[in-house]
Amino acid sequence: MANSDAVSRGDLIVELADVHLKLASAAGPVNILRGIDLSVGRGETVSVVGPSGSGKSTMMMIMAGLERPTSGLVRVAGHDLGGMDEDKLARFRRDHVGIVFQAFHLIPTMTALENVAIPLEFAGRRDAFERAHAGLEAVGLKHRTTHYPGQLSGGEQQRVALARAFSSEPSLLLADEPTGNLDGETGAQVIRLMFDLAKNRGATLVLITHDPALAARCDRAIRLVDGLIESRDGTKANLRPILASGV
């Protein structure tokens, strides 16, 4: 997608405007995000790079409605998250956001199928188990539905997590270092799958990564430093200087 400034408002899936987050700590208040402005269009893929502690995961939690900013505007899929109570936020997440973490976060006492189906059941979907079956098939795990996470390899667990994240057909997929716990080839498979699923379903992808090659697969990269977007870019051609400056 072209520069999102040129995209009409209705096609924006993520809008952050002057987002600040200040948290208390033993050493006094810490400014974790210091004025983030970011727009991401429908179907766009954006990587988020930057040093450890720069606020990448925190920014993602704010996009997911899992963390509230101290100030600023957060609008996702057309919904202003600032005005929502906890129940509304939970419904918003269920309907619009899929999340994949580095550590998979599957429920160990549930099978692969249950891990994908249970959130759908909570959402009141009568076809939860059929959808979960289809989701696991889409990530190549039809033959692993009755396995528990402990009986699955890391790559398989992350594929279950992907099936779960996509099962509600979210408009926004958030991935926080999704290959951080996987070896190179397994990670590459998970990434291919994630990009394919996002593309096929028209989902917007925001991907945190320390891997420059992976960041370069996205339509554009943004780099966070010390709670601020230091550089941004609308074209792949200009990604290299951002990535070369140290992720």
Ligand X SMILES: Nc1ncnc2c1ncn2[C@@H]1O[C@H](COP(=O)(O)OP(=O)(O)OP(=O)(O)O)[C@@H](O)[C@H]1O
Can you tell me the distance from the alpha carbon of 160 to that of 29, in angstroms, rounded to the nearest whole number?
Answer: 38
Task: Compare residues 63 and 120 and give the one whose CB is closer to ligand X.
Answer: 63
Whether the CA torsion 180, 185, 191, 193 is positive or negative: it is: negative
- Does 57 help bind ligand X (rule: CB under 6 A)? yes
Task: Compare residues 54 and 167 and give the one whose CB is closer to ligand X.
Answer: 54
User: CB neighbours of 126 closer than 8 A, spacing ≥ 6?
Assistant: none
Residues 18-47 within binding reach of ligand X (CB under 6 A): 23, 25, 30, 32
Among 4, 39, 47, 58, binds ligand X (CB under 6 A): 58
- Does 167 help bind Mg ion (rule: CB under 5 A)? no
Nearest-approach distance from CB 205 to Mg ion, in angstroms: 17
Closest C-alpha to 138, from 121, 118, 154, 116: 116
Task: Compare residues 8 and 52 and give the one whose CB is closer to ligand X.
Answer: 52
- Does 159 help bind ligand X (rule: CB under 6 A)? no
Q: Tell me which stretch binds ligand X (CB under 6 A): 2-10, 51-59, 91-99, 189-197.
A: 51-59
- Does 63 help bind ligand X (rule: CB under 6 A)? no
- Which of ligand X, Mg ion, none does residue 8 bind to, with CB < 5 to 8 Å depending on kind? none
198-222 burial, b at 16+ Cβ within 10 Å, e below that, comes to: beeeebbbbbbbebbebbbbbbbbb
Size of the site for ligand X (CB under 6 A): 12
- Does 103 help bind ligand X (rule: CB under 6 A)? no
| CA Rg value for the chain | 18
State residue 22 phi and psi, 5-degree precision: -120, 125
- Does 57 help bind Mg ion (rule: CB under 5 A)? yes
- Does 115 help bind Mg ion (rule: CB under 5 A)? no
**Is-contact 65 14, C-beta < 8 A?**
no
Can you tell me the distance from the alpha carbon of 243 to that of 247, in angstroms, rounded to the nearest whole number?
Answer: 6
Q: Tell me which stretch binds ligand X (CB under 6 A): 52-60, 68-76, 137-145, 158-166.
A: 52-60
